[in-house]
Amino acid sequence: MAPKVWLNGKLVPRDEAKISVFDHGLLYGDGVFEGIRSYGGKIFRLQEHVRRLFDSARGIRLSIPMTPREVADAIEATRRANGLEDAYFRVVVTRGIGTLGLDPGRCREPQVFIICDRIELYPPAICANGLEIITAATMRTPPNAVSPRLKSLNYLNNILAKIEATDAGVLEAVMLNHLGYVSECTGDNLFIVRDGVLSTPPVSAGILKGITRDSVIEIAGRFGIQVREENLTRLDLYIADECFLTGTAAEVVPVVRIDKRLIGSGKPGPMTKRLGEEFHRLARE
């Protein structure tokens, strides 16, 4: 089956899915997106993802030319057209074709496209044995500048931190906010475990409020695990008993070394394993 992309109401072959070089999404990063997964043919937390897409669009005064129901139906139609049970979706809305100038009022109709494919963010061995990460020198965009809760097309800040990780020979980097507190990684939220308590940076630390993050907090609550949303320092990471990352593409990934320092025993911890297993069970239900 030839891969298909949903583009402005039509399913077209991947090689024919094109947008204009004058699109403001390309010229200025003017647009929003969502990453979504399906498991066994069922799309995980679809309504939450669609709502966040529309919230991001409203946050940048971008009008999506579809209803939330129509977007949800288009995602499912794209999944069926590609014949994938376990898939990753990228839903993108751009400001549309405009001119060589910042004025969004000169843009025509917003463009909507949906990509459906497989994804493996980290190799299976990493997911089983744990990830090594670093602290990036690149600071997270201050939340009083552009809110990190807006899932926009401008990811240059994250990409620069990702380059630092690559230069250090690792796959991911922790980003600090303008106050020096831990924010999140380049593409994932972060949790630590200390004395049986699960902690994660709050929204005010400049994080994207992840849907996988919220799912893990929900699971922890069902297990009676105390969860704190609190500011964390690098020292908190270094002395944690366990650490793990969460994200739509990453799911739940253990971290065993940060800035060359072993975290806990240097192996994925019991709470990380328990929450990861329960998340996978929840996703496939």
Quick check: is 151 catalytic?
yes
Mean local confidence (pLDDT), 240-259: 97
Pairing of strands 197-200, 227-229: parallel
Q: What average pLDDT is seen over the chain?
A: 96
Tokens found for residue 216: 């893990």
The predicted pLDDT at position 148 comes to: 87
DSSP structure class, residue 115: E
Angle at CA of residue 266, ends 229 and 214, nearest 5°: 25
pLDDT over 90 at 72, yes or no = yes
| Residue pair 8/78 in contact by the 8 Å Cβ criterion | no
Question: Using one digit for the tens of pLDDT, what is the confidence trace for 148-163?
Answer: 889 999 999 999 999 9
Instruction: Please list, residue by residue across 145-180, b when 16 or more beta carbons sit within 10 angstroms of its beta carbon and e when fewer do.
Output: eebbebbbbeeebbebbbebbeebebbbbbbbbeee
| Residue pair 84/116 in contact by the 8 Å Cβ criterion | yes
Residue of 4, 151, 260, 267 marked active site: 151
Domains and CATH numbers, the chain: 4-117 (3.30.470.10), 124-284 (3.20.10.10)
pLDDT over 90 at 25, yes or no = yes
For the entire predicted model, the pTM comes to 0.94
Confidence band of 285 (pLDDT split at 50, 70, 90) = confident
| Residue pair 191/244 in contact by the 8 Å Cβ criterion | yes
Task: State residue 243 phi and psi, 5-degree precision.
Answer: -150, 145
- Which has the closest alpha carbon to 258: 275, 228, 234, 276? 234
Confidence band of 86 (pLDDT split at 50, 70, 90) = very high
